[in-house]
Amino acid sequence: MSATATAATASAASPAYLALNNIEVIYDHVILVLKGVSLQVPKGHIVALLGANGAGKTTTLKTISNLLRAERGEVTKGSVEFEGRRIDQLTPNELVRRGVIQVMEGRHCFAHLTVEENLLTGAYTRTGSRAEIRDSLEKVYEFFPRLKQRRTSQAGYTSGGEQQMTAIGRALMARPSMILLDEPSMGLAPQIVEEIFEIVRNLNQREGVSILLAEQNTMVALRYADFGYILENGRVVMEGEARELASNEDVKEFYLGLAKEGRKSFRDVKHYRRRKRWLA
Amino acid sequence: MQFFFEVLIGGLLSGVLYALVALGFVLIYKASGVFNFAQGAMVFFAALTFVGFQEVLPGWLGVEPGGAAVFWLALILACLAMVVLSIATERIVLRPLVNQPQITLFMATIGLAFFIEGLAQGIWGANVRGLELGIQDEPIAWMAERTGIFISSFDVFAAVVAGVLVAVLAVFFNRTRVGRALRAVADDHQAALSIGIPLQVIWRIVWAVAGFVALVAGLIWGARNGVQFALTFTALKALPVLILGGFESVPGAIVGGLIIGASEKLAEVYLGPMVGGGIDSWFPYFMALLFLLVRPEGLFGERHIDRV
Ligand SMILES: Nc1ncnc2c1ncn2[C@@H]1O[C@H](COP(=O)(O)OP(=O)(O)OP(=O)(O)O)[C@@H](O)[C@H]1O
Ligand SMILES: [Mg+2]
């Protein structure tokens, strides 16, 4: 497959910054969810992790950020490396200090804290002075001017888009070098999705933050990413340059809901319809 | 009318004590979702430990009992003991039970309550003791002269201490990095974990703060009613306070405490004679029950914000 060939050259050109090698994950001791996932994020790039409901995207991100243990998930095989060193035994606190942070699916803002307080909690792991933290806060407001307007509102009462921005801004306050971004488009209007993706791209280009982006919204994600992996049932089934994936016939067919009979369940078809609306 | 105000103010001031105990419950419940039945036992343990140190310290140091040095040293040691007890509880009892059903945790704290009560009496003995804070429990003279209302200076002292404690806690929760992290954990502990807030450190801090609050409550209650086992039952008055104020609300604990304190005294004085007295032992629970039927989440219970 030509896509795989490019993948090899791409990762040869820029050495892997974050690398998952042959990861296997089991929930509750019996449910095998990831069946040997390998992927790489080169420094300073946006890599998309695509796939349908239940493919294992969130599980993959949680493997990296080590949030699996809190959900009775366990990595039974494989390794995770960041900047050439293994990180699979680090706690989330240690990972955030190293620069790896996850923005969880579904936003998860602290509902009773104000937007600004939410952002400030993101600086928990930092030891810098108050002035430094204020600087970061101003920087976050530059990226998300809307948050500045809503800074004193309780986060629980802000819109979905604002909550997503708060969640990303909160992660930025930790000064990460690698953000694991889980479905930022979930439940948001197409226009807001574009706005958020533009900001994510800005972050990547101006601050050099590397991003691993899990998305169901394939076509939008591929427009902003440099590289993509497609997960199905806990396995990587396709990978390649984002532009090539976007024009790949299989991907188009699959994600426009025109797949061959019997390949997908009814549930899947339903959610392709939803996506089709967004693509229009 | 003077008499009415006297009863009302006396009730409000004693309600401050209920509020202090309720505050300990609220802190732990908010941050870790554990209903800590042992909070009353912690109050008892704190008061007994302070009195116990006051008794033994003069012998250890070879000084006269009753001096300021002994008082402050006993206070510091009791404070340390509470912090150690709280952290040990979190570490030994609650952490292994993380992710267990609520009811399991609740049962664990009931067991813990009996253990702490036994431990306190095992170390310091079971006899009733007085606790002297050096504050007189007498009516404030100028108040009595000007208005004819008799208010104990001790009650006023207790109210001021409680007020200061609440103010300090409010600043801690709203203005400090750890305080904010604590509220973050209370809201969504998964998200807190994801941004690098170490949950166990936070839980330890909450338990330590609750231990400190128990010490303050224990000292004031002990000074008022003597240090005895009955302290643990009086601490259960915090339950109706919580039902009234809401389990997750610091302002609720305070307002609830005041309402329970005031209504209990007023009921005793005005309704008591009709039913033969002793009304204050059950009236708070009766109020709480009524309240539960009308507004189960409590006066200040945090509404679930549904948009999240
Ligand atoms: N805590 C858990 N316990 C047991 N099974 C789980 C748990 N979390 C996820 N799973 C299962 O693991 C599989 C992968 O889930 P995951 O959340 O990683 O998928 P996803 O690709 O992120 O899906 P979505 O697009 O719906 O977010 C699913 O079949 C799911 O049911
Ligand atoms: Mg997911």
B192 close contact with A: CB closer than 8 A: yes
In this complex, which of A107, A120, A124 lies closest to B196 when CB atoms are compared?
A124
The stretch A232-236 carries a mean pLDDT of 92
> How close B193 comes to chain A (CA, Å)?
7
> DSSP state, B249?
-
Higher pLDDT, B104 or A262: B104
Contact predicate B255/B37, CB 8 Å: no
Report whether pLDDT(A4) > 70.
no
- Could you tell me if residue B307 is inside a domain? no
Report whether pLDDT(A1) > 60.
no
The stretch A93-99 carries a mean pLDDT of 96
A57, A71, A218, A272, best to mutate for ligand 1 pocket (most atoms within 8 Å of CB) = A57
Inter-chain touch B181–A121, beta carbons under 8 Å: yes
- Percentage of the residues of chain A whose pLDDT score is greater than 90: 75
pLDDT confidence of residue A6: 45
The stretch A145-165 carries a mean pLDDT of 95
- Could you tell me if residue B261 is inside a domain? no
Residues of A in contact with B186 (CB under 8 A): 112
Contact predicate A27/A71, CB 8 Å: yes
Report whether pLDDT(A149) > 90.
yes
pLDDT confidence of residue B142: 78
Confidence of residue B248 (pLDDT cuts 50, 70, 90): confident
B195 close contact with A: CB closer than 8 A: yes
- Could you tell me if residue B4 is inside a domain? no
Report whether pLDDT(B267) > 90.
no
Inter-chain touch A124–B177, beta carbons under 8 Å: yes
pLDDT confidence of residue B170: 85
Site from A67, A72, A108, A118 to mutate, B interface, most B CB atoms within 10 angstroms:
A108
Min mean pLDDT across A50-54, A177-181, A222-226, B56-60 is at: B56-60
The stretch A180-208 carries a mean pLDDT of 95
> How close B170 comes to chain A (CA, Å)?
14
> How close B186 comes to chain A (CA, Å)?
9
Contact predicate B180/A123, CB 8 Å: no
What would the 3-class secondary structure string for chain A be?
A: CHHHHHHHHHHHHCCEEEEEEEEEEEECCCEEEEEEEEEEEECCCEEEEECCCCCCHHHHHHHHHCCCHHHCEEEEEEEEEECCEECCCCCHHHHHHHCEEEECCCCCCCCCCEHHHHHHHCCCCCCCCHHHHHHHHHHHHHHCHHHHHCCCCEHHHCCHHHHHHHHHHHHHCCCCCEEEEECCCCCCCHHHHHHHHHHHHHHHHHHCCEEEEEECCHHHHHHHCCEEEEEECCEEEEEEEHHHHHHCHHHHHHHCCCCCCCCCCHHHHHHHHHHHHHHC
The stretch A234-244 carries a mean pLDDT of 92
pLDDT confidence of residue B181: 94
Query: What residue of B is the nearest CA neighbor of A121?
Result: B181
Hey, which of B85-89, B272-276, B304-308 has the most confident mean pLDDT?
B85-89
pLDDT confidence of residue A203: 94
Inter-chain touch B196–A109, beta carbons under 8 Å: no
Report whether pLDDT(A133) > 60.
yes
pLDDT confidence of residue B308: 36
Report whether pLDDT(B13) > 70.
yes
Inter-chain touch B305–A96, beta carbons under 8 Å: no
pLDDT confidence of residue A9: 43
Contact predicate B248/B293, CB 8 Å: no
- Domain span holding position B23: 14-127+138-229
Report whether pLDDT(A230) > 60.
yes
A28, A33, A63, A255, best to mutate for ligand 1 pocket (most atoms within 8 Å of CB) = A33
Residues of B in contact with A72 (CB under 8 A): 99
Confidence of residue A138 (pLDDT cuts 50, 70, 90): very high
- Percentage of the residues of chain B whose pLDDT score is greater than 90: 24
B303 close contact with A: CB closer than 8 A: no
Q: How many CB atoms lie within 10 A of CB B24?
A: 29
Min mean pLDDT across A17-31, A33-47, B248-262, B284-298 is at: B284-298
Q: What count of residues does chain B have?
A: 308
Confidence of residue B293 (pLDDT cuts 50, 70, 90): confident
Backbone angles phi, psi at B190, to 5 degrees: -65, -45
Query: What residue of A is the nearest CA neighbor of B305?
Result: A156
Report whether pLDDT(A267) > 50.
no
* Separation between Cα atoms, residue A233 and residue A219, nearest integer Å: 20
- Could you tell me if residue B34 is inside a domain? yes
Report whether pLDDT(B137) > 80.
no
Closest residue (by CA) to atom 26 of ligand 1? A53
* Separation between Cα atoms, residue B107 and residue B101, nearest integer Å: 10
pLDDT confidence of residue A71: 84
Candidates B33, B16, B36, B12; CA nearest to B24 is: B36
- Could you tell me if residue B37 is inside a domain? yes
Report whether pLDDT(A126) > 90.
yes
Backbone angles phi, psi at B98, to 5 degrees: -55, 140
Min mean pLDDT across A73-87, B50-64, B131-145 is at: B131-145
Report whether pLDDT(B92) > 70.
yes
Inter-chain touch A108–B191, beta carbons under 8 Å: yes
Domain ranges of chain A: 1-99+181-188+215-240, 248-280
Residue B64 three-state SS: coil
Query: What residue of A is the nearest CA neighbor of B249?
Result: A112
pLDDT confidence of residue A5: 43
The stretch B175-193 carries a mean pLDDT of 92
- Could you tell me if residue B184 is inside a domain? yes
Report whether pLDDT(A19) > 80.
yes
Domain count, chain B: 1
Contact predicate A272/A30, CB 8 Å: no
Confidence of residue A14 (pLDDT cuts 50, 70, 90): low
- Could you tell me if residue B255 is inside a domain? no
Inter-chain touch A109–B184, beta carbons under 8 Å: no
Ligand 1 nearest-atom number relative to CA A72: 1
Mean pLDDT of chain A: 86
Whole-model pTM? Answer: 0.83
Report whether pLDDT(A277) > 70.
no
- Could you tell me if residue B2 is inside a domain? no
Inter-chain touch A122–B195, beta carbons under 8 Å: yes
Ligand 1 nearest-atom number relative to CA A59: 18
Report whether pLDDT(A12) > 70.
no
Domain A1-99+181-188+215-240: CATH class, spelled out: alpha beta
> Residue A231 Cα, ligand 2 centroid: separation in angstroms?
12
